[in-house]
């Protein structure tokens, strides 16, 4: 029987990873009403950019401690190069269309980006293991954990706090709330709605790329990396309520802890436990835990 | 007189066309993952192997008895397609290969799911099909085929070999644990390993069996559970990115130092993750391939040529592809010799391949079970040891084919439960 300490630590680490991977999806949906399937592609792009840039950085003999900044730079690069091109070049022409049409457009883009990734990086895996072991480890319940996991937890907490502050405590956040609730009226009052859409989409994609980039030291970066992430992210944001930031956070915590408990105590049910939770939540609250009757909320 | 002349002309034309036909290229369909997660560890090394072997054979550069150009003097024409996609599309692509591309035979398939789906279709289309990599023993245990062969051993050999190695290398083993992917391959591999261990070490305790979904990627909780369980031995049949992620995540946490860890497909990661695999980790190569391949003329030709061309050593999928092509070549030429040098039919090649024994870069291949359609080979396991910064295999144990494969007509599961009765 596992001790409770490692169960909680594993749950928190997985929750942090899930939140970083999923929060951009709910942000873009909350503001733009776009269920962005390319979210998975940006996760993969971030992983590839992070792994290849950090690999090159370390190969040149530059300070390993700065490799975390390179991972961040990789995510920024992936999002800033690709996301604005998609939003300005394609999505802005679709805003008047039905949500399902936009969903299909982002799905098509997802397939295109999957092939583009293969054209750029090929099919061989990329590894950048150094940042994972660089910071040493800590011990909980007699079990060793790489300290790198605390970076993920810290990143998730910083993202949650930062987003909450921007949305509720800044002028830009208040203007964004206005755009969310009534884009036409906001436009009439002089708010540059197009710019809010561009920035939100790019930032949402950056969050996905950030998740991929900071995951790359722990995995083999291979084609198809983003497929499972989009499914898991969707489960998390649906549990929390599509478009709700607190919902995404709570959804990630619930999924992370439930999965950890099942792995430690009842591994036979691990495969379907996440989706069972999703089904249960939807049966009781069809809009998710934080989903309200309003059409848009963040 | 006129009739006699017509017969003579017809005979001449037939002889000429026979000669032309014999020299026509042999169109071979090759199917393996060229995209998706299985492309890098299996599909691409297998495709590279096919490219190398076909070019060498077409140039008549194979070592004896493979020195004849192509198959029996006819050059081999490759038609390579991607195995990726749902099973329905894999079957559709197979039908396209046979009915539209008109290939003479097919060599391919990595996924056990693909093999199970393709076997009855190959039979229906009467097309000689040689599975080169997939592992499930169910193909020839649950059905009989005339046109379907497999020149690589089944997954049962990997699990039984792993259990035999553990018993020898870890004296006094009392407990085991597993980390395997939750689908046919992972479940069968763990099932056979667990059953074999229970036969070899009566009373062995199973601490935990973790079965995360395929390509889950994050294994912190599973690793914690395994660390907490503290089993003497951990078995994993993880492959591809899952195997690499496991090594990357488990190594800094000391999992492989705490318990003897046996990775049955670990050879595919040993070159890429040499720095992360600790000493004492047990690696399998699904047969006598890669570091376990014998020092024979075929291996010297194959391994050196492959590495020179692709700047990377061949892995076990490369070896399996090489021996699949060489096996068909040997059968093709045996069938030609039996029919007076004419181009053989699929039925003639199949008859020649049944119960055949041939040599390849991995050593002797005997198509001895599955009513003469399923190969058996010896297998080997060893432990990693870093020597001069390079990962090498030490304490290598080899197990003869009969010791790790069931006898003809006996199902793998029944054979293990019977205590490996011959």
What does the pLDDT look like over B174-192, one tens digit per residue? 999 999 999 888 998 999 9
- Burial of B12 per CB tally in 10 Å (0-12, 13-18, 19+): exposed
Question: Looking at the complex, does the CB of residue A64 fall below 8 Å from at least one CB of chain B?
Answer: no
- Interface contacts (A, B; CB < 8 Å): 124
Q: Check whether B390 has a pLDDT greater than 80.
A: yes
Contact B133, B317 (CB under 8 A): yes
Reading the block at residue B415, the tokens are 């054979």
A146 CA: distance to closest CA in chain B (Å): 7
CA B14, CA B397: separation in Å to the nearest integer? 56
Contact B155, B185 (CB under 8 A): yes
What pLDDT sits at residue A47? 97
Average pLDDT, chain B: 93
What pLDDT sits at residue A297? 47
What pLDDT sits at residue A170? 94
Where do the domains of chain B lie? Answer: 2-153+294-376, 156-285+379-417
Question: Looking at the complex, does the CB of residue A13 fall below 8 Å from at least one CB of chain B?
Answer: yes
For the stretch A253-282, pLDDT in tens is 999 999 999 999 999 888 889 899 999 999
Nearest CB neighbour to B228, from listed A6, A223, A227: A6
Q: Note if the bond before B65 is cis, omega within 30 degrees.
A: yes
Average pLDDT, chain A: 92
pLDDT band for B155, please (50, 70, 90 cuts). very high
SS3 (DSSP) at B323: helix
Contact B367, B152 (CB under 8 A): no
Q: Note if the bond before B118 is cis, omega within 30 degrees.
A: no
Q: Which residues of A touch B217 (CB under 8 A)?
A: 215, 219, 225, 228
Question: Looking at the complex, does the CB of residue A119 fall below 8 Å from at least one CB of chain B?
Answer: no
CA A218, CA B244: separation in Å to the nearest integer? 9
Q: What is the DSSP string of B229-293?
A: HT-SEEEE---HHHHHHHHHHHGGGTHHHHSEEEETTGGGGTTTTTTTS-TT-EEE-SSS-GGG-
Chain A, nearest residue to B45 by Cα: A124
Reading the block at residue B23, the tokens are 């020299």
For the stretch B53-94, pLDDT in tens is 999 999 999 999 999 999 999 999 999 999 998 999 999 999
CA B240, CA B38: separation in Å to the nearest integer? 6
Question: Looking at the complex, does the CB of residue A130 fall below 8 Å from at least one CB of chain B?
Answer: no
CA B325, CA B346: separation in Å to the nearest integer? 15
Beta-carbon separation of A124 and B253 below 8 A:
no
What pairing do the DSSP bridges indicate for beta strands B105-108 and B282-284? unpaired
In chain A, which ranges are E strands? 137-140, 143-146
pLDDT band for B215, please (50, 70, 90 cuts). confident
Q: Which residues of B touch A127 (CB under 8 A)?
A: 244, 248, 272-273
Lookup result for tokens 């793998």: B412
Identify the H or E element spanning B326. helix B316-338
Contact A16, A85 (CB under 8 A): no
What pLDDT sits at residue B13? 46
SS3 (DSSP) at B171: coil
Q: Which domain holds residue A174?
A: 4-223
SS3 (DSSP) at A100: helix
Domains B2-153+294-376 and B156-285+379-417 share a fold: yes
Q: Which of residues 228-267 of A touch B (CB under 8 A)?
A: 228, 259-260, 263-264, 267
Nearest CB neighbour to B225, from listed A132, A144, A264: A264
CA B154, CA B368: separation in Å to the nearest integer? 12
Q: Check whether A296 has a pLDDT greater than 70.
A: no
CA A230, CA A109: separation in Å to the nearest integer? 14
What pLDDT sits at residue B3? 52
The answer to whether position A89 is within a domain reads yes
Q: What is the CATH number of domain B156-285+379-417?
A: 3.40.50.2300
CA B100, CA B125: separation in Å to the nearest integer? 12
pLDDT band for B44, please (50, 70, 90 cuts). very high
Q: What is the CATH number of domain B2-153+294-376?
A: 3.40.50.2300
What pairing do the DSSP bridges indicate for beta strands B175-179 and B390-399? unpaired
Beta-carbon separation of A271 and B36 below 8 A:
no
Q: How many domains does chain A have?
A: 1
């Amino acid at each position: 029987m596992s001790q409770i300490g490692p169960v909680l630590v594993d749950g928190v680490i997985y929750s942090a990873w899930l939140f970083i991977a999923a929060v951009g999806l709910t942000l873009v949906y909350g503001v733009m009403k776009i269920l962005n399937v390319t979210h998975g592609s940006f996760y993969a792009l971030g992983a590839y950019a992070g792994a290849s840039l950090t690999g090159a950085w370390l190969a040149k003999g530059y300070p390993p401690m700065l490799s975390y900044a390179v991972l961040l730079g990789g995510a920024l690069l992936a999002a800033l190069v690709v996301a604005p091109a998609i939003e300005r070049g394609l999505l802005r022409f679709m805003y008047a269309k039905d949500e399902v049409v936009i969903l299909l457009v982002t799905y098509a883009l997802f397939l295109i980006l999957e092939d583009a990734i293969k054209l750029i990086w090929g099919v061989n895996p990329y590894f950048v293991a150094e940042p994972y072991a660089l910071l040493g480890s800590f011990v909980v319940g007699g079990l060793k954990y790489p300290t790198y996991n605390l970076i993920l937890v810290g990143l998730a907490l910083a993202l949650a706090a930062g987003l909450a502050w921007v949305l509720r405590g800044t002028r830009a956040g208040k203007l964004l709330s206005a755009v969310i609730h009534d884009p036409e009226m906001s436009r009439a009052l002089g708010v540059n709605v197009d710019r809010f859409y561009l920035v939100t989409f790019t930032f949402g994609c950056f969050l996905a790329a950030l998740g991929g980039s900071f995951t790359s030291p722990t995995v083999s970066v291979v084609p198809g990396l983003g497929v499972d992430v989009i499914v898991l992210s969707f489960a998390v944001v649906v549990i929390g309520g599509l478009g709700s930031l607190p919902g995404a956070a709570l959804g990630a915590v619930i999924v992370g802890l439930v999965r950890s408990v099942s792995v430690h105590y009842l591994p036979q049910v691990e495969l379907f436990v996440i989706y069972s939770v999703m089904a249960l939540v939807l049966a009781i609250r069809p809009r998710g835990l934080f989903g309200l009757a309003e059409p848009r909320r963040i | 007189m006129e009739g006699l002349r017509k017969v003579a002309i017809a005979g001449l034309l037939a002889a000429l066309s026979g000669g032309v036909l014999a020299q026509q290229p042999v169109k071979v369909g090759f199917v393996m993952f060229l995209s998706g997660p299985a492309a890098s560890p299996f599909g691409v090394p297998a495709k590279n192997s096919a490219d190398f072997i076909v070019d060498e054979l077409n140039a008549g550069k194979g070592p004896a008895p493979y020195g004849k150009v192509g198959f029996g003097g006819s050059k081999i024409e490759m038609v390579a397609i991607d195995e990726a996609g749902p099973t329905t599309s894999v079957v559709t692509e197979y039908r396209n290969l046979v009915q539209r591309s008109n290939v003479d035979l097919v060599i391919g398939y990595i996924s056990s799911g693909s093999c199970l789906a393709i076997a009855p279709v190959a039979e229906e289309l009467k097309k000689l099909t040689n599975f080169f990599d997939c592992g499930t023993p169910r193909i020839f245990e649950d059905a009989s085929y005339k046109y379907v062969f497999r020149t690589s051993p089944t997954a049962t050999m990997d699990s039984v070999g792993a259990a035999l190695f553990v018993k020898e290398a870890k004296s006094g083993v009392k407990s085991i644990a597993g980390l395997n992917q939750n689908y046919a391959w992972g479940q069968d591999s763990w099932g056979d390993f667990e059953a074999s261990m229970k036969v070899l070490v009566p009373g062995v305790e199973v601490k935990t069996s973790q079965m995360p979904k395929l390509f889950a990627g994050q294994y912190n909780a599973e690793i914690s559970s395994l660390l907490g369980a503290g089993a003497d031995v951990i078995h994993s049949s993880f492959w591809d990115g899952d195997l690499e992620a496991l090594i990357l995540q488990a190594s800094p946490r000391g999992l492989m130092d705490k318990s003897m860890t046996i990775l049955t497909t670990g050879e595919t990661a040993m070159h890429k993750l040499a720095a992360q695999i600790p000493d004492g980790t047990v690696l399998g190569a699904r047969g006598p391939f890669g570091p376990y391949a014998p020092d024979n003329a075929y291996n010297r030709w194959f391994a050196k040529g492959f590495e020179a061309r692709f700047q990377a050593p061949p892995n076990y999928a490369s070896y399996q592809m090489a021996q699949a092509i060489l096996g068909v070549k040997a059968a093709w030429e045996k069938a030609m010799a039996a029919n007076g040098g004419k181009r053989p039919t699929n039925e003639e090649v199949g008859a020649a391949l049944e119960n055949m024994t041939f040599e390849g870069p991995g050593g002797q291949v005997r198509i001895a079970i599955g009513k003469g359609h399923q190969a058996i080979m010896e297998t080997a396991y060893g432990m990693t040891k870093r020597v001069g910064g390079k990962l090498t295999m030490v304490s290598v144990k080899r197990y003869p084919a009969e010791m790790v494969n069931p006898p003809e007509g006996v199902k793998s599961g029944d054979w293990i439960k019977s205590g490996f009765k011959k």
